[in-house]
């Protein structure tokens, strides 16, 4: 299937008093209707900045270059009123902090209805009624019990998990083609996390939404993603299917992430913090491999890791699987 969302050579640089700070240094990805792409990496890897760039939600001091094609139409450089029409309508975002996404002073039903009216005209009373009807339908669809009555409740009257369901209802009320979920379950306890992920999968199946899931939780990624992009220091370290990543990871950083995953017989709480060292800020390493200071395999390659930046390269005989590493062989066979 032709991708709904295609990102080509995306660069994001922030202009600050201290100079130019690169955050995303040339990444590519694509996702088709009904498919899920997971973007994984530590905080500071550029994954959230990338999603904000796709949504056109970066502050004014951010320079964005590259292409963000939604159904073939480039969103980069679109005037802000045009972009507002796209955002929340064709492409929507759910992020970690449901509380800050909701207004404490309005009922949840009003807020979902408002998200609907924003893209369906506000003037007529008829559309107001229709918006309320749509809001209740969405709240019901995301699993708010007794939705017609609960639509009148305020955010603080809901649990964290229920609030995240409301935010998902807001994001989906205009049936977007693309949903970007940035750590959508991080603030929730494990049982509720699983329920919310199941909900996202259900709505994806029902509406054929293309889902971009930004996550540090490889357990979740293994369960829901079709394709995976591993980011490190603003660049792609590895890209492939979920099978490529979990069965034939080719980049030492990916292996580190997998090694940091708990075993299945231990209660899950994968954290990406067990690889020694910390990631450099994007752009701070001008030559060589950004992962070199932390890489356990660099001695096998030698100087090249310091002098030559590895580009994403196809893995022979492995379809679209690509890694940005000078190690020719799979690290585990080396």
Closer residue to ligand SF4, CB minimum distance, 210 or 231 = 231
Work out whether 250 is an interface residue with ligand SF4 (CB under 6 A). Answer: no
Applying CB under 5 A, among 4, 5, 24, 36 the residue interacting with Mg ion is 36
CA–CA separation, 176 vs 256, rounded Å? 35
CA–CA separation, 1 vs 70, rounded Å? 14
Work out whether 113 is an interface residue with ligand SF4 (CB under 6 A). Answer: no
Please, are residues 139 and 166 in contact by the beta-carbon 8 Å criterion?
A: yes
Work out whether 297 is an interface residue with ligand SF4 (CB under 6 A). Answer: yes
Work out whether 111 is an interface residue with Mg ion (CB under 5 A). Answer: no
Provide the token pair at 19: 């100079």
Please, are residues 27 and 231 in contact by the beta-carbon 8 Å criterion?
A: yes
Closer residue to ligand SF4, CB minimum distance, 215 or 292 = 292
Report the partner that residue 36 touches, choosing among ligand SF4, Mg ion, none (CB closer than 5 to 8 A by kind): Mg ion
Report the partner that residue 188 touches, choosing among Mg ion, ligand SF4, none (CB closer than 5 to 8 A by kind): none
CA–CA separation, 310 vs 252, rounded Å? 13
CA–CA separation, 241 vs 260, rounded Å? 20
Work out whether 292 is an interface residue with ligand SF4 (CB under 6 A). Answer: yes
84 phi, psi to nearest 5 deg: -60, -35
Applying CB under 6 A, among 150, 165, 235, 326 the residue interacting with ligand SF4 is 326
CA–CA separation, 209 vs 167, rounded Å? 16
Applying CB under 6 A, among 41, 310, 321, 322 the residue interacting with ligand SF4 is 310
Residues that bind ligand SF4 (CB under 6 A): 251-252, 289, 291-292, 295, 297-298, 301, 305, 310, 325-327
């Amino acid at each position: 299937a032709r991708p709904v969302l295609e990102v080509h050579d995306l660069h994001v640089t922030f202009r600050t008093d201290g100079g130019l700070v690169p955050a995303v240094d040339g990444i590519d990805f694509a996702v088709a209707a009904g498919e899920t792409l997971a973007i994984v990496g530590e905080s500071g890897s550029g994954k959230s900045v990338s999603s904000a760039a796709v949504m056109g939600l970066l502050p004014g001091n951010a320079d964005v270059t590259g292409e963000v094609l939604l159904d073939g139409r480039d969103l980069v450089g679109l005037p802000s009123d045009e972009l507002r029409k796209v955002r929340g309508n064709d492409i929507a975002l759910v992020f970690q902090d449901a509380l800050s996404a909701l207004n404490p002073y309005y009922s949840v039903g009003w807020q979902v209805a408002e998200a609907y009216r924003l893209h369906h005209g506000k003037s007529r009373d008829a559309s107001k009624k229709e918006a309320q009807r749509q809001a209740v339908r969405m709240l019901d669809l995301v699993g708010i019990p007794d939705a017609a009555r609960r639509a009148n409740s305020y955010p603080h009257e809901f649990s964290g998990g229920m609030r995240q369901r409301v935010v998902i209802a807001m994001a989906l009320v205009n049936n977007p083609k693309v949903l970007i979920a940035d750590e959508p379950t991080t603030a929730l306890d494990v049982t509720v996390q699983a329920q919310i992920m199941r909900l996202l999968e259900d709505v994806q199946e029902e509406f054929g939404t293309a889902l971009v899931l930004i996550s540090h939780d490889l357990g979740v990624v293994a369960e829901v993603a079709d394709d995976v992009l591993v980011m490190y220091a603003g660049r792609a370290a590895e890209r492939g299917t979920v099978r490529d990543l979990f069965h034939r990871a080719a980049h030492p950083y990916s292996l580190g992430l997998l090694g940091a995953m708990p075993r299945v017989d231990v209660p899950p709480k994968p954290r990406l913090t067990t690889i020694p060292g910390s990631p450099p800020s994007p752009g701070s390493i001008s030559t060589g491999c950004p992962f070199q200071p932390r890489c356990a395999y660099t001695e096998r390659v030698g100087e090249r890791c310091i002098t030559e930046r590895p580009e994403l390269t196809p893995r022979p005989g492995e379809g679209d699987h690509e890694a940005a590493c000078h190690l020719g062989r799979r690290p585990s066979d080396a």
